[in-house]
């Protein structure tokens, strides 16, 4: 009876987390296009902080909590597909951490990446989603 509720929690917070992961790099692009030291740049710092504190960080934590609870419920540790999924989710979590660090650099006035590079980095969550969903759905058939 617990399994479906864990899965609901996991999927809901995956959606929230992914939404934030798609939004943050776009915020970075707009932030970098704002004149340095301007009121507009300060507003982007505030928006980025809110996105981090209200959506991104809590969602990522809850994705991990529900995901690990699911893994223990179905004994996923013994299944090959799960190890591959875990690898991709660790990579996505690392990307999340990089974005948190980049937001802090922008808040300090540092702008190490171009808007073009940030736009390319905006594709990371989409690619990760494809890899993770494929691993869970197709990988479970072949990597059990």
Measured CA to CA in angstroms, residue 78 lies from 30, 38, 71, 73, 91 at distances of 44, 54, 10, 12, 21
Residues of the chain with pLDDT under 50: none
Q: Indicate the average pLDDT of the chain.
A: 95
Whether residue 10 is annotated as binding a ligand: the answer is yes
Whether residue 96 is annotated as binding a ligand: the answer is no
Residue with token string 């299944």: 79
pLDDT score for 88:
97
Cβ burial 83-94 (10 Å sphere, 16+ → b, else e):
ebbbebbeebee
pLDDT score for 24:
96
pLDDT score for 142:
86
Q: What is the pTM of this model?
A: 0.93
pLDDT score for 144:
72
Are residues 5 and 70 in contact, defined by beta-carbon separation less than 8 angstroms? Answer: no
């Amino acid at each position: 009876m617990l399994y479906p509720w864990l899965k609901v929690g996991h999927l809901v917070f995956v959606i929230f987390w992914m939404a934030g992961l798609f939004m943050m790099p776009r915020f970075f692009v707009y932030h970098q296009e704002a004149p340095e030291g301007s009121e507009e740049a300060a507003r982007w710092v505030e928006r980025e902080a809110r996105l981090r504190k209200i959506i991104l960080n809590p969602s990522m934590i809850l994705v991990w909590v529900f995901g690990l609870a699911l893994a223990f419920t179905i004994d996923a540790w013994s299944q090959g597909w799960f190890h591959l999924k875990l690898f991709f989710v660790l990579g996505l979590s690392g990307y999340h951490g990089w974005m948190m660090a980049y937001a802090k650099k922008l808040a300090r006035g540092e702008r190490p990446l171009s808007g073009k590079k940030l736009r390319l980095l905006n594709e990371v969550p989409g690619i990760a989603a494809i890899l993770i969903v494929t691993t869970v759905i197709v990988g479970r058939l072949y990597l059990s």
